[in-house]
Structures are given as C-alpha cells and as structure tokens.
C-alpha cells in the first residue's frame, strides 16, 4: 500500500500545468517584446515538455502503484526518450526513403517497435505485471519520446524559407508548440500506453512473453501512427485520436478482466500481498 508520506514528494499535477503554462506564455511574450533569441531554448523546452511532464506527474500524484516506483517512471521518461529518439532516427535513416503514405507507415512501424522494446527493457525487475502498470509505463516511454521529438520539430520550424531567402520565424515556433502540446496526449503517449498495457497483460508467472495479441496491437498502433502522420489537418488528428482513445479507455476500465483479454484472477493471498 502506498502511504501518503511515500507519495508526498511528488508535485500536484494541477499545479504543474498552469504554472508551466504561465511561464511559457511569459517567456514567449518577453521574446516577442525584446527579440531576444536567447530565450528560444526556454520556449522550446517548456512548450515541448509541459504536457508530457504533467502526464507523468499526474500518475505520481494520483494513482501510484507498488510495482512502478517513481525512480523507474522518471528513468523511463528521460532515458527511454533519449534512447528511443536515437534508435528511431538511425533506423529511419536506414529504412525510410522519401515521404508519402508508405514512408509514414514505415516510420510508425519503426517508432512503435522502438518504444515497445523500451517498455520491455524498463519493465525488467518488476515482480508482478498488471494492465494498468503497463499502460502507465508505456505512456511514460511515449511521453518522453514525444517531448524530445516535439523539441526537434519546434527548432526545425524556426527556419522558414520565403522565395530564395531564409528567415527565422518565432511565430512558427510558437504555433508548432501550441499544436503539438495540445495533441501530445493523443499521439505517442496514447499509442505506447495501449501497447504497454497489452504487453503487461500477456505476462504469466511474473514473466513477460510474446503473444499474438501483442503483435496485433503493435501493428494496430503502428497503423494509427502512420495514418496520424499521413492525414494531417485538425479533422484527421481528431479522427485518429478518437480511434485510439477507444481501446485505451477499454483497457484502463477493464484492467485485467473481460474480453478480449481474458486473464485468470490472482489468488486471494497474492492479491493481498500486492495490495
């Protein structure tokens, strides 16, 4: 059982979000007023990490699990984000040739595979696996990946070509940060949460194992990822997000019960130990 003192170190998520948002808005306003490019890294980091960090803090503040320590969650957010970005970048350099639907599909397959592998790596050492813990760890890995990816997109959007001239566009950075910040919970975090939940649900006798359900889920989230990158536009983002939210909510509410993921209930003694 998690005591109040054991979780008291974590900040409240409902304070992290508004405070971070106020700081980001103040930095953006100052940058526009002073034209000081030195503030650009602060704008990029605050804007890219605010929503992902809030999601992780929500878990630490709201519904911690004995199986997932704060150290494991924070480590997964930071290390998986960096390692995932490096691995995905290398594999995409080798395997993805040109844009388009097929290229976006390969990007989805690569990035979801990398994040799935990192979920397994950061699950090592856990003694008991539950669907919710898998979803939390998956979302943490996805949020870490998304935060660093958003930082890269924000920096890339700074450079705008008009005619034959290159301009630095702070409004483009701010718009990119706003769009990706709003969409952050419905992208990498959502897809990885679904995959992580199924990976943990497939575990037996305290061990992870490959199953057909994991493969089907991996293909499904990869297709959502590819479609998300291909369709673009607000309508496309909304449609793909709704499609992803349905299995996410189902897994979260049903936990380790119900179809299509049947599981034998743990014995009463084991449940009491886990509590």
b (16+ CB within 10 A) / e for 10-29: beebeebbeebbeebeebbe
pLDDT at 9: 56
Name which of 44-48, 106-110, 258-262 the model is least confident about.
Answer: 258-262
How confident is the model over 236-258, as a mean pLDDT?
A: 80
**Res 268 pLDDT > 70:** no
Write the pLDDT tens digit of every residue in 65-102.
888 988 999 999 999 999 999 999 999 999 998 778 89
Instruction: List all residues 6 or more positions away from 183 whose beta carbon is below 8 Å from its beta carbon.
Output: 237, 241
* pTM of the full structure: 0.87
User: Which residues, including other chains, have CB under 8 Å from residue 13's CB and lie 6 or more apart?
Assistant: 54, 57, 58, 61, 62
Domain boundaries in the chain?
10-263
Give mean pLDDT, residues 111-125: 97
For 197-211, letters b (16+ CB in 10 Å) and e give bbbbbbbeeeebeeb
Give the span between the Cα atoms of 167 and 96, in whole angstroms.
29
Q: What is the pLDDT of residue 112?
A: 98
Does the pLDDT at position 168 exceed 80?
A: yes
Q: Which of 37-46, 49-58, 154-163, 185-194 has the weakest average pLDDT?
A: 154-163
Distance (Å, whole) CA 185 – CA 113: 19
């Amino acid at each position: 059982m998690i005591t109040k003192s054991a979780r008291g170190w974590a900040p409240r998520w409902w304070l992290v979000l508004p405070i971070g948002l106020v700081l980001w808005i103040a930095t953006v306003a100052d940058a526009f007023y002073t034209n000081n490019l030195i503030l650009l890294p602060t704008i990029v980091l605050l804007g890219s990490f605010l929503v992902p960090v809030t999601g992780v803090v929500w878990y630490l503040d709201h519904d911690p699990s004995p199986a997932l320590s704060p150290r494991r969650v924070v480590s997964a957010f930071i290390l998986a984000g960096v390692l995932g970005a490096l691995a995905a970048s290398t594999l995409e350099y080798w395997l993805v040739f040109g844009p388009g639907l097929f290229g976006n599909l390969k990007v989805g397959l690569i990035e979801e595979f990398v994040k799935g592998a990192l979920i397994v790596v950061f699950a090592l050492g856990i003694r008991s696996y539950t669907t919710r813990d898998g979803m939390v760890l998956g979302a943490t890995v996805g949020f870490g990946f998304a935060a660093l990816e958003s930082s890269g997109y924000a920096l890339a959007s700074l450079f705008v070509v008009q005619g034959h001239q290159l301009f630095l566009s702070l409004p483009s950075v701010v718009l990119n940060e706003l769009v990706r910040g709003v969409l952050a919970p419905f992208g990498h975090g959502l897809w990885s949460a679904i995959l992580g939940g199924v990976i943990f649900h497939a575990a037996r006798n305290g061990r992870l194992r490959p199953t057909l359900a994991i493969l089907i889920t991996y293909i499904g989230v990869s297709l959502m990822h590819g479609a998300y990158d291909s369709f673009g536009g607000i309508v496309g983002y909304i449609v793909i997000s709704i499609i992803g939210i349905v299995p996410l909510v189902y897994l979260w509410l049903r936990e380790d019960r119900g179809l299509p993921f049947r599981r034998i209930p743990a014995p009463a003694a084991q449940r009491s130990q886990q509590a």
